[in-house]
Amino acid sequence: MNIAFRVDASTDIGVGHLIRCLALSEELTKKPHSCFFVSKIENDDLIGKIEKNNVHFQINPNATLREDVETLVKFSNENNIDWIITDHYGTNAEYIKKIKENNFNVLAIDDNAQIHYFSDIVLNQNIGSEKLKYSAEKHTKFLIGPKYAIIRDQLLVKDSKAEKNE
């Protein structure tokens, strides 16, 4: 399966979004699936983290939201993408609707429930997210709460030194 992540990050904002997408891509590539990152990231260190195990495609940083989604759809068609995972605050309902209209499966990673979701799946892993009210299509599935947290392997491995000190 081919998966495209649509995520942005800079040294100032969005690094957490990128890190959780990288953690998810690490797991997906073990299956094996192919992961592609479509972004407006211009920081070489962050791009290096992506390109370590994934393909990176740079969107014009000055692209409008409409140009952004058109580029994403074109890239996804050219690379036989099965799922698009969005994880950035720049998306809105029309953005996701446009992706769905082009017959892609969509997982939207969301932190605030402020738009109507046309996606297949909405993931909000934050504490307290169970209290948010989401607007979505009837087919949309929800993965809400910390039990769905995306955690990097490094954080799951028990530290034997820490256990000895207990």
> Residue 105 phi/psi, 5° resolution?
-75, 140
CA distance 72 to 78: 10
Measuring CA to CA, how many Å separate 117 from each of 5, 67, 94, 98? 17, 20, 9, 11
Query: What pTM, to 2 d.p., does this model score?
Result: 0.88
Q: State pLDDT tens for residues 5-23.
A: 999 988 777 788 899 999 9
Number of structural domains in the chain: 1
Count of alpha carbons within 13 angstroms of residue 92, beta-carbon side: 5
Q: State pLDDT tens for residues 65-75.
A: 999 999 999 99
116-117/141-144 β-pairing = unpaired
For the chain, residues with pLDDT lower than 50 are none
- CATH number, domain containing residue 55: 3.40.50.11190
DSSP state of 30: T
| Boundaries of domain holding 83 | 2-165
